[in-house]
Structure 1
Amino acid sequence: MNINYPHSIQNCLGEKLTFLSVEKDAQGDKVIVENRVTPHHGPPMHTHYLQDECLTVTSGKMGYQVLGQDVQYAYPGESVLFKRGTPHKFWNAGEDELSCTGWIQPANTIVFFLSSIFEAQNKSGKGQPELFDGAYLLTRYAREYDMAEIPAFVKKTVMPFTYFLGRLLGKYKHFSDAPEPLK
């Protein structure tokens, strides 16, 4: 997937994410991001197994939570760091648009993955990605990303079966330039 920066994606839930640039770094490429989230929206509980994510609130009120911990809030000028392997979520906890800047490091497949997730959400018209695309992304990239709110049985049985069925039905031609999953 060849990407020109800045690269913006938007889902049907009111999240807009712009990948501004990629900075070279000894610890791996760092994707510089800016996001805007409408009130009461944000990504569900998720994990990036291989990346750290840092967000600094520029306007609005961000609610955030690490799995098993209490809800916390960040305000303009405050930063939140989500370490790799830590299930977390964040959302717009205010009544005005939430705006943040930040980074994700190392970049790995994050731009492709999030672009594809947003596109699959737009296909379905809801927070849950379109069935076959969701199964493709969450099965193929299971060593890199996880959605904590999906039951284990669904992740271990239903999604791999749906992914297999999608392959048989030719549902994944639009993923022909997808990056290889990291090992």
Structure 2
Amino acid sequence: MNYPLPHTIENGNGETLTFLRLIEEPDGDRLVGENFVAPTIGPPMHVHWLQDEGFTVLNGRIGYQTLGQPERFAGPGESIVFKRGVPHRFWNAGTETLHCSSWIKPTNTIVFFLTSIFEAQKKSGKPQPEIFDAAYLLTRYASEYDMLEIPRFVRKVIMPLTYQLGRLLGKYKHFEGAPEPIKPHQVLEAQMLNA
């Protein structure tokens, strides 16, 4: 699944994200975008195992937190960076729409993954994605992403079982052509080649 840029997604719950352009860099492509987030809205505690992610506030106030740390806040002109492997969350901590420029590096499968998560949220009509799609995405791409607000037993046992049930029931035809998950060893190999 290849998405031409710019590519805009919205989840029906107050988040809109536009992937604007790809910048080729020696140590991995950087995907640049922008997001708009309604007051009090934002993704739950999650982790990108293989990617760094950054935001610069253009308008509004962002609240953010890394796992185990206190909540912090940033306003227009301020930037925050979440390093790969560090669980984090962010939300609109103001009363107006939060507008940020953003980047993620390397891109890996992020455009497909977030497009699919946002579509699954619209399908469910709630902040939680439709269960079979969530099981597919969080099981297949577990080497890249994790949602830490989902209890561990659900993530490690219930989701994989739901994924298998979805396969048996033919629930994943809309994911035909989905990109292969990136494995951590592939990232290390690419880094060594570019060193």
User: For 1:108-144, what per-residue CA distance to the aligned partner results, in whole angstroms no more than 9, with x for missing partners?
Assistant: 0001000000000000011110010000000000010
- Give 1:47-126 correspondences, 5 Å limit: 47-126=47-126
Find the counterpart in structure 2 of residue 30 from structure 1. 30
One-letter amino acid of the counterpart of residue 119, structure 2? E
The runs of 5 or more residues in structure 1 that have no matched partner are none
Q: For 1:113, what is the secondary structure of its paired residue?
A: helix
One-letter amino acid of the counterpart of residue 41, structure 1? I
Find the counterpart in structure 2 of residue 160 from structure 1. 160
User: For 1:68-124, what per-residue CA distance to the aligned partner results, in whole angstroms no more than 9, with x for missing partners?
Assistant: 000000000000000000000000000000000020000000010000000000000
Per the TM alignment, residue 177 of structure 1 is displaced from its structure 2 partner at its CA by 1.3
Q: For 1:99, what is the secondary structure of its paired residue?
A: strand
**Cα distance in 1 for residues equivalent to 2:74 and 2:177:** 37
**Cα distance in 1 for residues equivalent to 2:22 and 2:84:** 18
Per the TM alignment, residue 2 of structure 1 is displaced from its structure 2 partner at its CA by 1.4
How many residue pairs get matched?
Answer: 183
The runs of 5 or more residues in structure 2 that have no matched partner are 184-195
The percent of aligned pairs where both chains have the same amino acid is 64
How well do the aligned residues superpose, as a CA RMSD in angstroms? 0.5
> Between Structure 1 and Structure 2, which shows a larger proportion of helix residues?
2
TM-score by length of 2: 0.93
Q: For 2:129, what is the secondary structure of its paired residue?
A: coil
